[in-house]
Amino acid sequence: MSYETPDIPEDAPTVLFLGDSITAGLHLPPDQAFPAAVQRQALDYGVPFHIVNAGVSGDTTRGGLNRLDFLLKNTSPDVVVVELGANDALRGQSLTNIETNLKEIIATIHLTDAQVLLLGMNAPTNLGDYAREFGEMYTRISGELDVQLVPSFLDGVGGLPEMNLPDGLHPTPEGHERLAKNIVRPLTSMISTASPLLAPGQRPQGR
């Protein structure tokens, strides 16, 4: 299935999606990845925005940090959605290093006028204490740096065979639509608050 390109006003806000293969929509056309899906869903709230999909398959928090300065300078986003950490966990990276990288990503974004939407990730439960501490890390970062958090970004998709491709790791088009649904309300609220271009009557009222 393909979608028509949404009609987005030239002066609409820009949202940068900094992430890994989930953001990139691995194995799918770009218009089926969740950044494009949430752009379409946001139009139901009367909140148009341009997307910059900076998803790179296999990326880690360190990789995202290394790319960030270039992306910020070249896109001037109003909001940055950060979807990173899962590959770090799969590689058994130090939680201290992951947290340091995520905090530096957020601090770098905060040097601009952009807001941050942090997407909470989960590590495989068979990793025991590591998995628990990994999930808690996102909540701690959100509180310490005062950023908006979607605590269960993969809710309704992660671990469900019907929502994932045969590899069991990457969402189907339906899975990406669900991921978009998980973040559309907080994202549209942030965009409406950040952008003076949206009149009060255009602010999201729920769905």
Residue 167 annotated as catalytic: yes
Catalytic residue among 7, 129, 146, 167: 167
The helix-helix angle for 129-145 and 95-110 (nearest 10°) equals 20
Both tokens of 101, joined, read 């990288």
Residue 170 annotated as catalytic: yes
Least Cα distance to 138 among 91, 69, 78, 89 occurs for 89
Catalytic residue among 59, 142, 170, 176: 170
What is the spatial distance between Cα 6 and Cα 162, in angstroms, rounded to a whole number? 28
User: What residue has token string 């970062």?
Assistant: 141
Residue 195 annotated as catalytic: no
Q: How many CB atoms lie within 10 A of CB 206?
A: 5
Order of strands, edge to edge, in the sheet holding 115-119?
A: 50-55, 14-19, 79-83, 115-119, 148-150
- Active site amino acids: 21, 167, 170
